[in-house]
Structure 1
Amino acid sequence: MSAGIGTARGTALCVGAVLGPGVLVLPAMAVRAAGPASLLAWAALLLVSAQIAISFAALGTCYPDSGGVAAFTRRAFGDRTADVVGCWLLAAVPVGVVAGATAGARYTTAALNAPARTALVITVVLLAVVYSANLVGLHLSARMQLLLTGVLIGMLIAVMVAAGPRVDLDRMTPFAPYGIAGIGSAVAVLFVAICGWEATANLSAEFTDPRQIRRAAMASLTVIVVLYTGLAWCTVGVLGDEAGTTTVPLMRLLAPAERPWIAAVVAMAAVLFTVAASVTFVAAGARAGLSLAHHGILPARLAVTHRGEPRRSVAAQAAAAALVTAAAAKAPHVITVEALMRTFAALLACVTLLGLTAAVRLLPTRRQRLNAGVAALAVATVAALSGLFLLAPAAIVLAVLIHRHHTRPPVPPSLPDGNDHSSRHPDATATTAVLR
């Protein structure tokens, strides 16, 4: 039997997936887009985040499966839709991980006043740490995530305690200088802040007890809402309009910039946030790769594990991340961090939307289905704001349809009783073995 992950480690993985390096810059970006009214955008998105977390926790409890959202959509809508969703997630992971590592590296470089060229070196080192952690297996990376999450929560609480007394309500006026359009723009920017719940769904089969999925989701949701709310309030109340003009808002929140130790704290925070978020996404991507390989969308050799660990799938993800990093380094003015983050957000918005739509069809109670439906409408609205970045998920849909037209994916063998027990699917067997 697998040792599994419990509520504490599951909470750490969930918090790490949602609370990423974006926390270093997103509150300031939202202020630049909407002014103090960015607080309304935060409130709306955190409410949507709660609905998403509840829906995916319910799905994970009812149908624990390492295939995650792809497995849920396979149950609800069949193989073709599931393959598309799995490929969306698979493509999103290297894009998002590289965007996060680059943003964290640049933030660290700025905080330490280091030469700009060191950002690429830091990016490569961060990616190496993240993928190495996943190569040794989820059991160890979950322990590391628990430690990282505790440190990060402590850092953010320290920021809020230090900045709280300096909040000035006069900075709240004018409240909405850019009107409704500004608030809508802030919502589009901040969607990255609530990405991550769809990735944690891939870990549902790893829990020792399915009931722990809901506990971990609720605990992580509470932590995330408190931290994001506190940071958004402090950013608006302490920095005001200045938040949109600084590249290191967290440093400005802590204390006056001339204190040298602040730079070291901020640089450490940037590194830890990057690693904490990326570990969970890479784990989810590796498991999505296993599922797609089992269903014939990816080469069968990616479904091979080494002592139960999906090392080939992780290595494939690392190769993809290396290609994205090289492309971004070659064309930094075209493949920017913002472009990568918005592409990442567009892909994950589509993944989340299909997962929530599946929840409407699969969840047992009317209340659960209604909650998922409301969340799906909200995410669809946000996805529409992605504009041209929706070309990325559209291109993947076309590629999957062409692939399915020319090949016939093998059907996984049925279980003796004829039922679809997801937790016993080859995908789940391979990935839970990582914990042995």
Structure 2
Amino acid sequence: MSQARPAGPDGERRPSGRAPAPAGGLGTRGLVTFYVTSLIGAGLLGVPSVTAAIAGPASLLAWAALAVASYPIARLFAEMSARHVDCSGLSALIRSGFGRHAGDTANILLVLVYMAGNPVMGVISARYFCHLTGLGDGWTMYVAAGFMTLSVAFNAMGLALGARIQQAALVLLLLCLAAAVVLAVPSMSASRLTPFAPHGWQAVGTSAVIAFFSFLGWENVSAVAEEVRDPARSFRRAIRYAVPVVGLVYMVVAGAYLLVPHPEGTMVLSALLGARDSGVGAAAGDLVALVIVVTATNSWVLGASRLTLAATRQGLLPAALGRVGRRTGVPARVLLTLGAGYVAVLTVLGRFGVEEDRLVAFTSAVFLILYIASAAAAVRDRPTRAMRASALVTGALAVFFLLFTGTALLLALLLVLSVVPATARRRSPDRLISNEEVT
């Protein structure tokens, strides 16, 4: 039987919620891999072109500012993971700061937004695959379901093997991006950086709002905290490497895009590889894009599986889903449930023609609300000076950018208001996980 934690602010005892971790576990290198692959995803493929259209070369200032501003966010969630070694991610911090009901609400919200948002990456992968192979648009949702199933199967292999494959994929990804930038050098011209701010300095702020959503994801890795060797040391070390890598990649790619010819509407890799003039360049761009998006999808499905597992431990979902492999630590039933959920979401997207952009905006708004709650909880959680500073910066950034989510904010608030009473009806105390629930 797991040991109980000290009483929370509402006076009840807290279960550790931890099952026996598989031998080994992630170290700093594995955490860096999952951090980087969580942050470098579909946003890299299109957002730099959007910010360039809005603010011109001055959009680089927005990318630089966000690269710096992402450190406090990463630091907050790293400190959270070191303090609350739990697979429930940021909901563990919210639970510690505001009690069981708030933590349950956050956990269910996370499960829902991961279930709804992750399939968007499958759709993006499918679009590149269909373009590469010549399949028609009618195949998009079927191929997307295939890519989501692939990521579910990838995570079923276990964290140790998955981390090694992700590390190899990350190296390949970075090499491909470096090669794309190098190949674009002959087409680069400093003259394209003038005028530097063709649409005024206010446009820099607008482009920063767009670019900010590429930096959401620092909380995703917190869900594997139970499976990390020496979490207090590993998480803090990992962000020292991951934050500069993520910031540098976005800065280099955005800068290279600005220096090469890029007619309006040209995607980033297409511009760097000259795909508009070369079938080979187009194919190479599609392949690199697939590596980027599939690698990111693997990391987000990993986070979703652990957050869903946490919900079973808290009694929010059927306990039978929470069985994990004794040797691998894989929650196989959770992964199967996620796979079925992803297919269902894709079916709805295809049937009703829901635009992925709206779904991304909605899930981003929910994440920002949870960022604000996490920051407030951190201030109540006996923080160190560094954690308090990170929480205040994170909360301020989340409030600011939440104001620009438009109607997505209203939908996000409706979701929160619908989940709050549902979790309030749960009267039973938090469950402790017995050894019998680990298979």
User: What is the TM-score with the length of structure 2 in the denominator?
Assistant: 0.87
2:260 matched to which residue of 1?
Answer: 238
Match of 2:344 among 311, 323, 327: 323
Deviation at 1:181?
5.1
Separation in 1, partners of 2:338, 2:55 = 36
Distance 1:263-1:314 versus aligned 2 partners, 3 A rule: same
Distance 1:216-1:34 versus aligned 2 partners, 3 A rule: same
2:52 matched to which residue of 1?
Answer: 31
Deviation at 1:256?
5.2
Letter in 1 for 2:80: L
Separation in 1, partners of 2:376, 2:115 = 25
Separation in 2, partners of 1:86, 1:376 = 19
Partner of 2:164, secondary structure, is helix
Deviation at 1:113?
5.3
Partner of 1:11, secondary structure, is helix
Distance 1:57-1:271 versus aligned 2 partners, 3 A rule: same
For each residue in 1:297-351, what CA deviation from the matched residue of structure 2 results, as whole angstroms up to 9, or x when unmatched? 223332233444212222222222112111111122xx11211221222222223
Contact 2:41-2:296 at 8 Å conserved across structures: yes
Separation in 1, partners of 2:253, 2:136 = 29
Q: CA RMSD in A?
A: 2.5
Identity %: 28
Deviation at 1:111?
5.3
Matched, 1:216 2:238: yes
Residues 291-330 of structure 1 mapped to structure 2, 5 A cutoff? 291-307=310-326, 308-330=329-351
Letter in 1 for 2:420: L
For each residue in 1:367-425, what CA deviation from the matched residue of structure 2 results, as whole angstroms up to 9, or x when unmatched? 33113211220121112211211234323322222213433143234xxxxxxxxxxxx
Deviation at 1:234?
1.1
1:338 matched to which residue of 2?
Answer: 357
Separation in 2, partners of 1:134, 1:320 = 16
Separation in 1, partners of 2:135, 2:277 = 16
For each residue in 1:261-309, what CA deviation from the matched residue of structure 2 results, as whole angstroms up to 9, or x when unmatched? 3223212222211221111211111211122222222233322334442
Separation in 2, partners of 1:348, 1:397 = 11
Contact 2:39-2:214 at 8 Å conserved across structures: yes
Contact 1:111-1:266 at 8 Å conserved across structures: no
User: What is the TM-score with the length of structure 1 in the denominator?
Assistant: 0.87
Distance 1:216-1:347 versus aligned 2 partners, 3 A rule: same
2:270 matched to which residue of 1?
Answer: 251
1:277 matched to which residue of 2?
Answer: 296
Matched, 1:93 2:114: yes
Letter in 2 for 1:132: A
For each residue in 1:6-31, what CA deviation from the matched residue of structure 2 results, as whole angstroms up to 9, or x when unmatched? 22222111111111122111111222
Letter in 2 for 1:245: G
1:79 matched to which residue of 2?
Answer: 100
Contact 2:372-2:395 at 8 Å conserved across structures: yes
Residues 383-398 of structure 1 mapped to structure 2, 5 A cutoff? 383-398=402-417
Separation in 2, partners of 1:186, 1:430 = 52
Q: How many residues are aligned here? A: 415
For each residue in 1:78-137, what CA deviation from the matched residue of structure 2 results, as whole angstroms up to 9, or x when unmatched? 112212221222122133321122123223434565533343333122111111112232
For each residue in 1:156-215, what CA deviation from the matched residue of structure 2 results, as whole angstroms up to 9, or x when unmatched? 111222224533233233433444553343233223311111111111221112211122
Letter in 2 for 1:6: G
1:228 matched to which residue of 2?
Answer: 250
Separation in 2, partners of 1:309, 1:180 = 50
Contact 1:133-1:140 at 8 Å conserved across structures: no
Matched, 1:121 2:142: yes
Segments of 5+ residues of structure 1 without an aligned counterpart are 414-425
Match of 1:62 among 51, 69, 83: 83
Residues 188-199 of structure 1 mapped to structure 2, 5 A cutoff? 188-199=209-220
Contact 1:49-1:194 at 8 Å conserved across structures: yes
Contact 2:275-2:282 at 8 Å conserved across structures: no
Partner of 1:66, secondary structure, is coil
1:421 matched to which residue of 2?
Answer: none
Distance 1:305-1:205 versus aligned 2 partners, 3 A rule: closer
Letter in 2 for 1:215: R
Separation in 1, partners of 2:281, 2:146 = 23
Residues 16-27 of structure 1 mapped to structure 2, 5 A cutoff? 16-27=37-48
Match of 1:403 among 416, 422, 431: 422
